[in-house]
Amino acid sequence: MHLDTPLVYVKGVGPYRAEMLEAKGLVTVNDLLHYPPFRYEDRSNLKTIQELAPGEMATVVVEVREVRMPKLGRKNVGLFEARFGDGSRLSLLGKWFHGGYLANVLLEGARVSIYGKVEFDPYKGDLFMMHPEFELLSADDEDGDAALHTGRVVPIYEAAGKVSPKLMRILTHRVLETIGPLEDVLPVALRERLKLVDRTTAVREIHFPSQDADLRLLNSFRSPAHIRMIVEEFFWLECGLELKRSKAKLEQGIGFALNEQVREKIKAMLPFKPTGAQKRVLGEIAKDMAEPHPMNRLVQGDVGSGKTLVAAEAAIIAIENGYQVAVLAPTEILAMQHYAYFKNLFEKLGYVVVPLAGSFKAKEKERIRGYVEQGLAHIVVGTHAILEQGVQFRNLGLAIVDEQHRFGVMQRLKLMEKGAVKPDVLVMTATPIPRTLALTMYGDLDTSVIDELPPGRKPVTTKHLPSSRIEEVWSFVAREIADGRQAYVVYPVIEESETAGLKAAEKSYLHLRDIVYPNYSVGLLHGKLPQADKEAVMAEFKAGRVHVLVATTVVEVGVDVPNATVMVIEQAERFGLAQLHQLRGRVGRGGNQSYCVLVTEKLSETGRERIRTMTESNDGFYIAEMDLRLRGPGEFFGTKQSGMPSLRFANIIRDRELLETARAEAVSFIQHPPDEDSLRRAVTYIRENWQRRYGLVQVG
């Protein structure tokens, strides 16, 4: 059987099951071999019922003798029981709570493999297992297949539709039985240097470990076989990213001049003395912009670190060289905040700054497009509306993308195509991304970090209270307002229940306005409001005429009111850590002590961990690390379009050290290949094999 053979032709698959497998991204034999088990069970302790001892984990092959749903008094407690026998005089009881569905699965007479912890009921004299793992051993199982499920370390796969873990095991074994040795595409020197097992051994051991395999290493994905495949995945990913980066360095770009005129303009614009970190990052950007190929740089910085000021300095370099600047933001409210900020900074320099958003009327859009096309606008700040086909720049030199993880890779590329020559690209994010993840998420970007807050900023004090103590929160807010401060009260709006979220915010707004703070001004801000109303309420809040702003997460980014010192987050358990940190970043922007109050309903274990992290730390990078651990990279970014690859064996958080190793090896291999033929084979392999399976952006 060939690796490219469609799974539909594997014995036991057929068109119906092939469709289910395809939904999991499994199309060919090679795909199936790259679908590893997610855990392993030691079922090698195969015993008869007579040999079982209480307290041990064991496997028995038995027959279903009797099934029943016992009642407690007159009440059905949802307990399903099956009594098993193996020909001896003893029997074994299996118990499952909420197991009514098993009545149609564990039928009398069925042969079953049962695995679990053996327990003893002294009152009834029964041996039993609570919620044991089981697999039906059907009569048409071939002898070889039946031996896969018991008497060994057994791989447990994630089901694919109605293709059960057991069937995945059978299909994988059949495939491995019919293929020869696998071509080992990793460079020989790399394999020898890292002492990696060969590819054939690795794949076979991952799916069907040998009898002496260490179960602890298997389940922690640290067996020699797992390490081999993890390094391989990371190596080809990093090779692809390094090839993209190398290709970008060869493209024709703009070499911006950094003369005295540029420096004087930057000095004239600066509203205050930059921090050391801001100066360092601007130096890195300026060096890139002076090069004759396109800059691709990511600027990370915690909330309030001054990324936008650094972007404004970069904009001056482009404008003073005769080029235009585009600033792309993910939401209209953030775009308008940026517009107001840039307009305020640049008016004294004589630059023309224009806004562009989807909600603008057609006539207004047409007028602004005219300014941009004729070169009369130096900077255009807006949303996705900038990417529309009708928006043409006369001379685009710099594209600034804010909150990059909210955009797709293709959207960034679309913006770059707006220039006659590829413009420099500066990507900003206030979502701190741990270095290991940034290397993979933005491997085609050079990274700068602003790791210093402006002087005078005090850390925000974070408190946690249950919703039963909400009146204490309102009393505290009242004291802050009496001292001349302002407050936010934020409610979650989850997509599938957006209406309910808005109703909660509106209900709270009316309660606070009419009952709690009748002598103060309370405003309401949410995404469904018309843009003019949003701007009006924000203007009132900024001016200090609105004391309490009740809002949804529309205030998560971009809202800057230094006089606001309290952030109350209702139902805080419904937010991710990164989002909670972003919301907290809306306060603490002035010289006064600020507070974040997390109000929660019932907390899960994960919820408690999130809240504990928030109350203990203000470090955005630590919080991002914890968020990734709790939620995983996919959920952390909330979108596959961000460019995050779907890795089969590797995990960016768990395997960070292996990622660093693989990255160093990949960079060395691409920059100093052993020979031209090795590099050509690597490019071909990435393009033909790796790219389709993992969704890597084209390398050329």
Residue 231 has a pLDDT of: 96
d(CA 695, CA 700): 14
Same structural domain, 388 and 512: no
- CATH code of the domain covering residue 133: 2.40.50.140
Average pLDDT over residues 523-528: 84
Same structural domain, 394 and 413: yes
Residue 214 within a domain: no
Same structural domain, 545 and 440: no
Residue 111 within a domain: yes
Residue 429 within a domain: yes
Same structural domain, 344 and 393: yes
Q: Is the pLDDT of residue 130 over 50?
A: yes
Tokens standing for residue 226: 């797992």
What tens digit of pLDDT does each residue of 44-85 get? 878 899 999 999 988 888 999 999 888 765 566 678 999 999
What tens digit of pLDDT does each residue of 663-674 get? 899 989 998 888
Same structural domain, 434 and 516: no
- CATH code of the domain covering residue 350: 3.40.50.300
Q: Is the pLDDT of residue 276 over 50?
A: yes
Residue 636 has a pLDDT of: 46
d(CA 349, CA 656): 46
Same structural domain, 472 and 424: no
Q: How would DSSP label each residue in 94-144? A: EEEET-GGGGGTS-TT-EEEEEEE-EEETTTTEEEEES-EEEE--TT--HH
Residue 196 within a domain: no
Higher pLDDT, 496 or 116: 116
Q: Are 77 and 71 in contact (CB under 8 A)?
A: yes
Same structural domain, 321 and 424: yes
Same structural domain, 572 and 469: yes
d(CA 690, CA 695): 8
Q: Which of 450, 480, 512 is the last residue of a domain?
A: 450
Same structural domain, 280 and 405: yes
Same structural domain, 331 and 388: yes
CA 657 → CA 227, 487, 651, distances in Å? 11, 43, 11
Residue 13 has a pLDDT of: 93
Higher pLDDT, 566 or 185: 566
Which structural domain range is residue 330 located in? 260-450
CA torsion angle 399 404 407 408 (round to 10): 90
Same structural domain, 351 and 484: no
Tokens standing for residue 276: 């050391």
Same structural domain, 432 and 474: no
Residue 184 within a domain: no
Average pLDDT, the chain: 84
Q: Is the pLDDT of residue 441 over 90?
A: no
Q: Is the pLDDT of residue 553 over 90?
A: no
Q: Which of 151, 171, 201 is the last residue of a domain?
A: 151
Average pLDDT over residues 619-632: 73
Average pLDDT over residues 90-110: 89
Q: Are 438 and 405 in contact (CB under 8 A)?
A: no
Residue 434 CB neighbours (<10 A): 18
What tens digit of pLDDT does each residue of 480-507 get? 999 999 999 998 864 444 555 556 778 8
Q: How would DSSP label each residue in 371-440? A: HHHHT--SEEEESGGGGSTT---SSEEEEEEESGGGS-HHHHHHHHTTSSSPPEEEEEESS---HHHHHH
User: Percentage of the chain with pLDDT > 90?
Assistant: 38
User: Environment class of residue 75 by beta-carbon count within 10 Å: exposed (0-12), middle (13-18) or buried (19+)?
Assistant: exposed
Residue 655 within a domain: no
Q: Which of 151, 181, 207 is the last residue of a domain?
A: 151
Residue 528 within a domain: yes
Look at the chain and report how many structural domains it folds into.
Answer: 3
Residue 163 within a domain: no
User: Percentage of the chain with pLDDT > 70?
Assistant: 87
